Amino acid sequence: MLGLNNKDTSLFLVIIVLTILAPVLLNPFPTESTLAQFNAGYPDLMQKFVVFGIFAIGFNILFGLTGYLSFGHAAFLGVGSYSAVWIYKLFTYNVIPALILAVIVSGIFAVLIGYVSLRRSGIYFSILTLAFAQMSFALAYSVLSNPKFNLTNGETGLQIYANDLQLFHREGLPDFPHLFGLSMVSTYKLGVGPWEFQLNVAYYFCAIMMILAFYFAIRLFRSPFGMMLRAIKSNQQRLNYTGLNSRPYMLAAFVVSGMYAGLAGGLLAVTDPLAGAERMQWTASGEVVLMTILGGTGTLIGPVLGAGFIKYFENIFSKINDQVLHQWFTFLPDGIEDVLVAIVHPFIGKGWHLTLGILFMLVVIFLPGGLVEGGQRIARLLRRLSNRDKAADATNVSAE
């Protein structure tokens, strides 16, 4: 199917089904239930799942296939956002031209940074990419916000206003990012008994982009180009001794990865037409590294799982406060309840990073292959148990 083998086709179909049904699957608890705070099926969060999933998929093409660790990929995320918002301000709110420009500009920017950074490898490459990202952040935050040529609007961020130029905007079209007149903020609320599911246009648009990005990643992983990137990761020096110049392949991988990041940045501007310098900070680059490692470096679905895991913690787990904890432990005597709340308090709310750090440490130690390896271990265990039961049944039948 679509040029994929049976295994990849099955994985691709699973991604499509899960993505389409996400508004339902991520709202398992009734709206009025006390557990509804753990539901993740609302548009803002679902959009982050798929957008940062694209970001992580692109980063994995570079890091997972070649082993080159970039600490500067947030620069391309920010460039993509700024490019998209400038399309909104100057020409049209249609999201297609905005995304095209975001991908193109991010690709050009990646060529410039990659050409310099790939002259070094290992930690020196990582430091160079980090330096470029921080320079980009400084440019966006201050230098390019100069009143004479204000391209980024500094710490306030680049926004859309009613008096923007909008050369191709027509009456009757939404004054917000749209897809040929279909507003991105449109949401249909589906009530089913005590549940309420939100079907948002922006989410499904971003979801389609992620599905396409995932499909392209599969084809790239299985292509001769992907095999060459794996050879670079395995032993780049030995590959060079064969007479092959690995640098063009590395630069191509870097550019493709940067274009994925630019697409994610453009999609962030689709869901929220604002571009700020904070998207280019080193913390954003570090976040995508965590997503990829946590999900499973070099795997296809791992980065998507890692992105969803971290964004869930960031948006759901971080909202748990002492009041919620007291509700959980209200059945206990007051003294024990207060002690338990005091013990759990440092790990929730603003301290959610501590919990994430502990989980990340445990994954690195016990599951080097990330969440994907954990799933594979569980699947192997279930197969062994199933085979054992079948063997026992066969033995009983033969004994009879």
16-62 residue pLDDT tens? 999 999 999 999 999 888 788 889 989 999 999 999 999 999 999 99
Instruction: Determine the pLDDT at residue 239.
Output: 86
The pLDDT tens digits of the residues spanning 144-195 come to 887 767 889 888 889 988 888 888 878 878 888 999 999 999 999 988 888 9
Residue 365 lies in a domain: no
Query: For residues 125 and 118, is the Cβ–Cβ distance under 8 A?
Result: yes
Question: 370-399 and 352-366 are packed helices; what angle lies between their axes, rounded to 10 degrees?
Answer: 50
Give tens-digit pLDDT for 257-316: 999 999 999 999 999 998 999 889 888 999 999 999 999 999 999 999 999 999 998 888
Q: At 94, is the pLDDT very low, low, confident or very high (cuts 50, 70, 90)?
A: very high
Residue 148 inside a domain? The answer is yes
Give the CATH number for residue 114.
1.10.3470
Establish if 276 belongs to a structural domain: yes
CB-neighbour burial class of residue 83 (10 A; exposed 0-12, middle 13-18, buried 19+) = buried
Q: How far apart are CA 202 and CA 180, in angstroms?
A: 13
pLDDT for residue 260: 97
Residue 170 lies inside a defined structural domain of this protein:
yes
In a domain, 361, yes or no: no
CB–CB of 270/62 below 8 Å?
no
Q: Which range of residues forms the domain containing residue 12?
A: 6-300
φ, ψ at 58 (rounded to 5°) = -65, -45
Residue 247 counted as domain residue: yes
Distance CA 213, CA 179 (A): 19
| pTM summary value | 0.93
Percent of the chain with pLDDT over 90: 55
| CA–CA dist 180, 332 (Å, integer) | 57
- Does residue 214 have a pLDDT over 90? yes
Considering the domain boundaries, does residue 383 fall inside one? no
Tell me how many helices (H) and strands (E) the chain has.
Answer: 15, 6
Question: What mean pLDDT, rounded, does the chain reach?
Answer: 90
pLDDT exceeds 70 at position 397? no
Domain count along the chain: 1
* 173 within a domain of the structure (yes/no): yes
Helix segments in 316-369, DSSP class H: 322-328, 334-344, 352-366
Handedness of CA 286, 287, 288, 292 (dihedral sign): positive
